[in-house]
Amino acid sequence: MSKSSFLKEFKDFAVKGNALDMAVGVIIGGAFGKIVSSIVNDLIMPPIGWLVGGIDFKDLKYDLPINPLNEGGEPVSIAYGNFLQTCFDFFIIAFCVFLMIRALMKLSKKKEEEKPKEEPKPSEEVMLLREIRDALKK
């Protein structure tokens, strides 16, 4: 494969509508993810933490015992609170995407219903039989 044909194939791929649509979707999806993370971190989780006794979910962690082989080392902890926060982010994003896809599906169904349904064109045999019928009526 020559270098020019490779570049031509890449250009054809990049200019196609699907690739551009996908790139726009990834960019908007990244921005949407940041918005949802902010909603979860700043608006949803603080009241939930307040309801359960003033807990900040990001601070929830399990501290592992100090390794006897490395007495002076840094303590290690499992930050399960951050994991819970990320799970909330995921579920909210998945729910929003579900609602968007559902709305798009309803819109596409409405567009299909609005289109006038064309009667299928009769076959040549049917057309011939109709001509014979009309000729016999005369």
* Domain-wise residue ranges, the chain: 3-137
Q: Which residues of 32-58 are buried (b: 16+ CB within 10 A; e: fewer)?
A: eeeebbebbeeeebeeebeeeeeeebe
Q: Is the pLDDT of residue 26 over 80?
A: yes
Give the pLDDT band of residue 14 (cuts 50, 70, 90): low
Question: What is the average pLDDT score of the chain?
Answer: 81
**Nearest to 44, CA basis, from 92, 114, 2, 83:** 92
The residue written with tokens 């559902």 in the block is: 102
Interval 93-122: pLDDT, tens: 788 878 888 888 888 887 777 766 677 888
Q: Which is higher by pLDDT, 7 or 15?
A: 7
CA distance between the termini of the chain: 70
CATH pick for 3-137 out of 3.50.50.60, 3.40.50.300, 3.30.410.10, 1.10.1200.120: 1.10.1200.120
130-137 mean pLDDT:
89
Token pair 């929830």: residue: 60
CB atoms within 10 A of CB 92: 15
What's the pLDDT at 124? 87
